[in-house]
Structures are given as C-alpha cells and as structure tokens.
Amino acid sequence: MKTDDLVTMLAAGVDAVDPNVAAQRYATAIGWGACIAMLLMALLLGVRADLADVVRLPMFWVKIAFVGSLAAASLVAASRLSRPGAQLAWVPAALAAPVLAMWLLAALVLIGADPARHAGLFFGATWNTCPFLVAMLSAPIFAGVFWTMKGLAPTRLRLAGAAAGLLSGAIGALVYSLHCPELEAPFLGFWYLLGMLIPTAAGALLGPRVLRW
Amino acid sequence: MSEGEKRLRDLLVRGLAGDAAAYHAFLKDLSAHLRAFLKKRLVRLPDEVEDLVQESLLAVHNQRHTYDVNQPLTAWVHAIAKYKLVDLLRRRSGREALTDALDPVNDLFSSADTEAAEARRDLRRLLEQLPERQRLPIVHTKLEGLSVEEAARVTGMSQAAIKVGVHRGLKALAAKIRQE
C-alpha cells in the first residue's frame, strides 16, 4: 500500500473524537477500582469501629491529606505520561512535597518523644501487615489504571507504569486508612509509603512490557 | 508557533471534530514532514523510512484521542515519531543505535519530503490477515468508501460492530507491524 493510499484510508469517514475521553476513562477505572477496594476492605478487614471518633482527630486528616495529595499528584503524573510529548513540569515537586512534609512531622514527633517510645511510634501495632494490605487494596485500581493507560499513548513506559502504580497505591492507601488503626507520623511516613511503593515498583517493572503500543 | 504548525494544528483540530477533508489534508502534510524527519535519522536504514512513515501515521491516527488541543502539536507528533523510531531501532539493531537525547523538537515541521519511496511492508497484506469482523468494516468503510450504515447492511453486522471493528482493526494492524 502506498503512503498516500494509507492517508486516504485513515481519513475516510472519520468520526469526531471526544476530547475528554482520557479523563472519562481514568474516572471510570479509578471509580470502579476504588469501589472494589472498598468492598475488599469492608469484607476482609472491616472499617475501624471507632471511625466516628477518629475523624475528630486532626492526625486522621493529616493522614488523609498525605495520601490524598499523593493520589492527586500521581493522577496528574499518570495522565500526562499517557499523552505523547506532555511535560511533567511541577509534578515531581508535588509528589515530593507530601512525603517531605510527613518526614518532617515524623522527625518532630520523634524528637519530642521519650526515646523509650520511639520504637512504638515507628512500628505501631501493624507494621508487618500495613504495606501488604495497602498493596492488596491497590490491586483492582492498578488493573484499571493500567488498562486505561494502555488505551492511551504513553511513550516513557517505565515512568508511566510507575506513575500508574503510585496512583493505585495512593488510592489503595486512602481506602486502607478507613480500617487502619495507626495515626503516628513516623509510622505513616515509612510503612504507608512502603505500601504505596510496592505497586509503584510493580508498575515500573510491568510498564515496558504491558504498555507498548 | 510557526505558520506551518499553526496550519497543521488547525487541520487536525477540525479533523478531530469529524471533518474528514481537513483530516486528510493534515495526514498528507504530516506524512511529508515525518518522511523528512525520519530520513535524517535513519541514514543507515534508508529502506525502512517509508515503512516507518506509515507506521507513524497509523500511530498518530490510532492515538489521535491523546492530543490535547492546548498542547504544541510539534511536541505531540515528535514524541510519537520518536517512540516509533526507537521501537524500530530496538527491533532492528539492539540499543546501540538509539537517537541522541539532544534531538531538538522544533525541527519537525521545518522540513518536508513528498517523494514517497515504495514501502517494503505491504499493509494490504497485513490487513488481509485480520479477522473478518475487523477486516470487513475496514475494507468497506475505509477502502471502498461506504458509510457505516451501508457497510452494516452489506455485512449483516450492526453499525456499532462496524465502528468497533474499524477501531480495533486499525489497532490490530499496528500490533501486527510491531510483531513483524
């Protein structure tokens, strides 16, 4: 086939393209993924019984803001990385900011606390399950976001896969925080982050293989 | 933004709104720019240029829903062409031939080359390997110029199936090119 014939073929009878198609697909994938994660959390782990009291504590909202801002920044990263030629610009800084803020808070908490309490603040009661449960809850969102990204056009596949993984990890962590009993900054700054980094690493590994087009 | 880019962007925006004539003009101009761009970068593989022009055009078409009208067209096309170029070089000769990172984005629309060489890969042959539910919609609506409604009548498929078949078939065609 000659190139001119290909051009004619591609242009023949083209339909209008919905300019919001990428946003709609991300919304669908994240919406369904988060619903399934909620269901998994409610059935397998259970919403924490004292949630009504916990929501009055400022630290609960600090936790929500921490994972929520990471979710928002990684959503921007994922949507830009699924578009050829789009610049990341300020996005890396927006990803680093909540992490650095949480580490700063953790440092202040540890400095102000009796050294005998340090281990308790860091390990909490659930350090050995938290990262895996966050990763588990992120799985349905991970699948949806990867499927969405595959239908778009990422050109930096490893980075795009990592952004998709972090996005699913952050939303998984958001869901998990309705179950999780931990509220101390040293715990959140390490174990929550680790939980979100598991799907991030999985995304970086899978990206170059799965996202090709 | 250069005059050429402005014109092309305008054609693409109209094409994305469903104006087939504007979209045809966009793809035709774009193929000349892509050819000049790829020729410069495939000095050692001159026979591959026309195949890669075609592969890039198909990619631009299949991924046209990822163009954001607020984004410079050069950056978008350049990223697609470079992605397909790197993909080809990886398939052909391993990693050593990758293009330099300093590749300037702006020179894409500054040159054009309308002298199409023969493509070595015949897309028609690949098209024939597609399953019927994808091949027939493409043949009828894209090659014979039937409307979706007419193609549905001829094939006995639903209009929705015709549209899906075209969409999936062109993606499958791109996948077949990658596997070659």
Question: Per-domain residue ranges for chain B?
Answer: 3-110, 123-179
CA pair distance A152, A140, nearest whole angstrom: 19
Residue A127, pLDDT score: 94
Q: Which residue has the higher pLDDT, A74 or B111?
A: A74
Residue A102, pLDDT score: 97
B82 to A155: CB separation less than 8 angstroms, yes or no: yes
Is B92's pLDDT higher than 90? no
Name the residue of chain A whose CA is nearest to B148's CA: A13
| For range A22-34, the mean pLDDT | 95
Q: What is the pLDDT of residues A192-209, one digit of tens each?
A: 999 999 999 999 999 999
Could you tell me the pLDDT band of residue A163, with boundaries at 50, 70 and 90?
A: very high
Q: Of chain B residues 109-168, which have a CB less than 8 A from chain A?
A: 116, 118-119, 122-124, 138, 141-143, 145, 147-148, 163
Interfacial residues of A (vs B; Cβ cutoff 8 Å): 1-4, 6-19, 21-22, 82-87, 152-153, 155, 212-213
Q: Minimal CA–CA distance to A213: which of B54, B48, B80?
A: B80
CATH 1.10.1740 for domain B3-110, yes or no, is yes
Q: Do domains B3-110 and B123-179 have the same CATH topology?
A: no
A19 to B69: CB separation less than 8 angstroms, yes or no: yes
Chain A CB contacts of B56 under 8 Å are: none
Residue A190, pLDDT score: 96
Residue B112, pLDDT score: 83
| For range B155-175, the mean pLDDT | 93
Q: Which of A74-88, A110-124, B96-110 has the lowest mean pLDDT?
A: B96-110
CA angle B26, B28, B32 (to 5 degrees): 110
Q: What is the pLDDT of residues B33-60, one digit of tens each?
A: 999 999 998 888 888 899 999 999 999 9
A10 to B50: CB separation less than 8 angstroms, yes or no: no
Q: What percent of chain A has pLDDT over 70?
A: 100
Could you tell me the pLDDT band of residue B96, with boundaries at 50, 70 and 90?
A: very low
Give the mean pLDDT of chain B. Answer: 88
| For range B90-115, the mean pLDDT | 67
Q: What is the pLDDT of residues A134-151, one digit of tens each?
A: 999 999 999 999 999 999
Q: What percent of chain B has pLDDT over 90?
A: 64
DSSP string, chain B: --HHHHHHHHHHHHHHTT-HHHHHHHHHHHHHHHHHHHHHH-TT-GGGHHHHHHHHHHHHHHTGGG--TTS-HHHHHHHHHHHHHHHHHHHHHTTTTPPPTT--GGGGGG-----PPPPSS-HHHHHHTS-HHHHHHHIIIIIS---HHHHHHHH---HHHHHHHHHHHHHHHHHHHHH-
Nearest-Cα distance to chain B for A193, in Å, is 31
Is B2's pLDDT higher than 90? no
Residue B106, pLDDT score: 63
Interface test with A, best of B9, B12, B16, B27 (most A CBs within 10 A): B27
Q: Which of A62-66, B41-45, B144-148 has the lowest mean pLDDT?
A: B41-45
Interface test with B, best of A9, A24, A81, A156 (most B CBs within 10 A): A9
CA pair distance B95, B116, nearest whole angstrom: 28
Q: How far is CA A2 from the centre of its chain?
A: 45
Interface test with A, best of B65, B74, B162 (most A CBs within 10 A): B65
Is B87's pLDDT higher than 70? yes
Classify domain B123-179 at the CATH topology level. Answer: Arc Repressor Mutant, subunit A (1.10.10)
Nearest-Cα distance to chain A for B18, in Å, is 4
Q: Which of A32-41, A99-108, B105-114, B137-146 has the lowest mean pLDDT?
A: B105-114
Give the mean pLDDT of chain A. Answer: 95
Name the residue of chain B whose CA is nearest to A156's CA: B83
| For range B110-114, the mean pLDDT | 82
What separation in angstroms does the CA of B90 have from each of B52, B85, B95?
A: 13, 9, 6
B108 in contact with A at a CB cutoff of 8 Å? no
| For range A60-82, the mean pLDDT | 97
What pTM was computed for the model? 0.90
Name the residue of chain A whose CA is nearest to B64's CA: A17
